[in-house]
Amino acid sequence: MKLGFDIRWLVSDSEQELDKRLLQLLTHMNPNGSLQAAATDIGISYRTAWEIIRYWNEAFHTPLCVLERGKGTSLTPLGQKLIQTKHAIETGYAEALKLTADDLNNEIDGLIGKSINKNKLNTYASNDLAIHIFQELCEAKQNLDIDFIARGSLDALKQLHTNQYNIAGFHFPDGELAKLLAPEYRQLLDDKKHLFINLATRQQGLMFKPSQQGRIKSIDGLTRRSIKFINRQRGSGTRAIFDQLLKLNNINRKEINGYKKEEFTHTAVAAMISSGHADVAFGLKAAASQFKLSFLPLVTETYVIAMNKSLPEEVKKNIRLLIKAEKLKTKINKLPGYDASLTGKIIHAEKLLSPVL
């Protein structure tokens, strides 16, 4: 069973749902100026279409469209505003809702103890937008049958290390943060057992509404009690990196309002900010961009695909070819804050853990 999300338009004073057919009619009516053609396009009769328009004209106490002899039907400013808003919502949130649904379904698979399918390449992967692209391309390939389950970076590597899963997706920061996190990761990374491939370089930082720019100019701004923070869950790589950032900046987590409030994905924390339930979060620039949030970059990191060297050579070859494909790189480069210039390159564990500062 898979879950999904949908966007509903509600009349706030009654919680009545706006008829989806109304928005469809207005959208189809706009370019051709014909209610009859719009009704045919969405598969309803002209009479039904007219009844829908008439009902909502009365509900809004103003017409949504006007019929002019010899000119057909044209939308009023209100009708235009409704379809413009519909387009804006679909453009801004539809993909984010899909990604959140994918993440949720992957989490559910893990929580209910989804059994390992020996005929699949079982994969634990940390939440990421590039991994979604990789997953979609894998599903389109006939010679790659990969089963993805979302998990934090450390959890994913532990599953790989104990041979519970064939492939893991994890991210690791550059610079000073790498030195701080290396001891925890070093025991799980083994060049003799695993092959590490660069999937993407990405940026993480603070995301917040543009109206908050005056109050959030650095990570120190998180200690202001009037600012509501939303965190990632314990066990995620992003949470581990954020905690180390606090240590580097001598910030006590107890001083952050909302530190213990958690969400499981980058899009989830961005959605919480967009909806007004939080002011700021630490996460991906790409997620901030999806929800039109401001972004303060703090960390550059590498997202890595790790796989057992014991996998058949043909399987490893096909995965490497897919990661090196221009189609994947092009899609990754379109994500805000992502860079695919090193995508497909082999990485050695010690070089990843001990970058040149």
pLDDT at 320 over 90: yes
| Percent above pLDDT 70 for the chain | 91
pLDDT in tens, 224-277: 999 999 999 888 899 999 999 999 999 999 999 999 999 888 888 998 898 888
The predicted model gives 118-131 an average pLDDT of 81
The predicted model gives 33-46 an average pLDDT of 88
| Percent above pLDDT 90 for the chain | 54
Burial 123-150 (b: 16+ CB within 10 A, else e): bbbbbbbbbbbbbebbeeeeebebbbbb
If one compares 29 and 252, the residue with the highest pLDDT of the two is 252
pLDDT-derived band of residue 118, with 50, 70 and 90 as boundaries? very low
Q: How far is residue 95's CA from residue 338's CA, in Å, rounded to a whole number?
A: 17
Residue in this structure with the two tokens 């390159």, named with its chain if needed? 345
What is the reported pLDDT for 86?
83
Q: How far is residue 99's CA from residue 5's CA, in Å, rounded to a whole number?
A: 10
The reported pTM is: 0.71
Average per-residue pLDDT in the chain? 88
Q: How far is residue 201's CA from residue 204's CA, in Å, rounded to a whole number?
A: 10
Structure tokens at 12: 């706030």
Domains of the chain (ranges; CATH) run 10-88 (1.10.10.10), 115-353 (3.40.190.290)
Dihedral of the alpha carbons of 219, 222, 224, 225, in degrees to the nearest 10: -170
What is the reported pLDDT for 117?
46
pLDDT at 114 over 80: no
Structure tokens at 133: 């692209």
Q: How far lies 149's CA from each of 108, 268, 279, 305, in Å?
A: 9, 17, 29, 14
